[in-house]
Amino acid sequence: MSSVATAAKYPKHLTAIVTATLLAGGGGAWALASLGPDVSELPVQMVLEAVQPQLPPEATELDTPALNLYRSDLTRTTDTADTLLKRMGVDDPQAAQFLRTNPMARQALFSRSGRHVSIETVDTHRLGKLSARWSPDEGTHFQRLVVERDAKGFSARLESAPLVASTRLASGTIQSSLFAATDEAGLPDVVASQLAELFSGDIDFRRALRKNDRFNVVYEVLEGDGERLRTGRVLSAEFVNAGKVFQAMWFQPPGKDSAGQAYRGGYYALDGRSLRRAFLSSPVAFSRVSSGFAMRFHPILNQWRRHLGTDFAAPTGTPARTVGDGVVSFAGVQNGYGNVIFIQHRNATETVYAHLSKILVKRGQTVTQGDTIGLVGSTGWATGPHLHFEVRVAGVQQDPMAMAQKSETVPVPVAALPVFKQVASNVKTQLQAAASLQSTRFE
């Protein structure tokens, strides 16, 4: 049969065979593509059309957010408006001029050290807002200076806000000295001084410390706007000296005493024994004893004579405090004592504070244990700044250290014992947690 006749008789079959052959072969794509016009020869037309974005109505009210930068630092005694702003990345002559001339800002920022400052910059290093925070040594509130940019330039205001207390734990081991160990543990010096004061009735921190003695402490930190502004009191502590364990906790008994006065808070051993004695062991917070209650060669008289007091070496201006409750019987200048204060206590006991650079009390004034009564100096017969301290009983000088350790203590009031025992139980848990910090550090 001829090919023409075959195609006429089986047209559908022949079409299917041809199509399959073209698709299966390597040239199938070329065969199919060549059936249409050449793409490169097709006319090209560019269409341009303006598109108007359709935003919701509320989106048009939003401004592009500005890029604000924040930075914090501490003030230095040498700071000026220019050096403070430059250190914090601010380049703003107008702001510097405001800080120089505004009395409130000058008083709060300059010739002061350790005050927390935070700034907010806008645009290109211009000052938007400056805040400075600081806390007095006493009280429950902190001060906040706020300097802000407004439409007219800058404004300043002073605010007061409550401090927020938080608790910290720490532990350490003595290798050379108490302060070296507390530094290693990251503790502020004020905590080290409180530790020494707290256990001074049981431990002689000047002569009895041993290598590998250890301590655990729970203390209070006072914060403002999230910044630590002041270290508070030690809440509880444990000291192991020569293998013997001493523990203490702060406790204020609830209620009032027989005179209708609220009980004073104080430190107690965990068995309820008060650690507050009638007399402190030192009139200067943890100072070096430069001359004790013994025979010595007098540096001015150039002769051996009995030293009937204790000398505490300390820089000029160091606070001198009364070691017990009493009344000021003399405050003025007296012979070799220079500026001196005499305080009369119970049981015919009198204390003497000599060579002061400044007297802060008056005759007849009532003072409470720990009150600052003057500042250390070198007036009178003194070869350098120190505090000469005496304890006299019925006019006879006594060893201040021995007097302090023998002075009476007051236990927890009987009615407050149930509360005390509950608090003491919690304190033991906290001290164990503090001790575990050191164990973790050495693992």
Q: For 381-437, what is each residue's pLDDT tens digit?
A: 888 899 999 999 988 888 877 776 676 677 888 889 999 999 999 999 999 999 988
Q: How confident is the model at residue 142 (pLDDT cuts 50, 70, 90)?
A: very high
**pLDDT single digits (tens) 30-60:** 444 444 556 566 676 776 666 666 666 665 5
The C-alpha atoms of residue 120 and residue 130 are separated, in whole angstroms, by 6
The C-alpha atoms of residue 366 and residue 358 are separated, in whole angstroms, by 18
Place of tokens 């047209």: 11
Contacts of 72 (CB under 8 A, 6+ apart): 116, 117, 118, 119, 227
Q: What are the tokens at 214?
A: 């250890």
Query: What is the residue type of 436?
Result: S
The C-alpha atoms of residue 428 and residue 219 are separated, in whole angstroms, by 14
Tell me what pLDDT residue 66 has.
60
Place of tokens 């004061």: 197
For 396-425, the DSSP string reads EEE-HHHHHHHS-B-PPPGGGHHHHHHHHH
pTM greater than 0.75 (yes/no): no
Which of these, 334, 362, 345, lies nearest to 408 by C-alpha position? Answer: 345
Q: Indicate the Cα dihedral angle 430, 435, 438, 443, nearest 10°.
A: -110
Chain mean position to CA 54 = 55
The C-alpha atoms of residue 152 and residue 169 are separated, in whole angstroms, by 48
Tell me what pLDDT residue 166 has.
94
The C-alpha atoms of residue 233 and residue 251 are separated, in whole angstroms, by 12
Identify any residues that bridge with 193 across adjacent strands, giving them in sequence order. none
**pLDDT single digits (tens) 245-304:** 999 999 998 888 777 788 888 899 999 888 877 788 788 875 444 443 344 344 444 443
Which of these, 180, 172, 204, 179, lies nearest to 193 by C-alpha position? Answer: 179
Backbone Cα Rg of the chain: 40
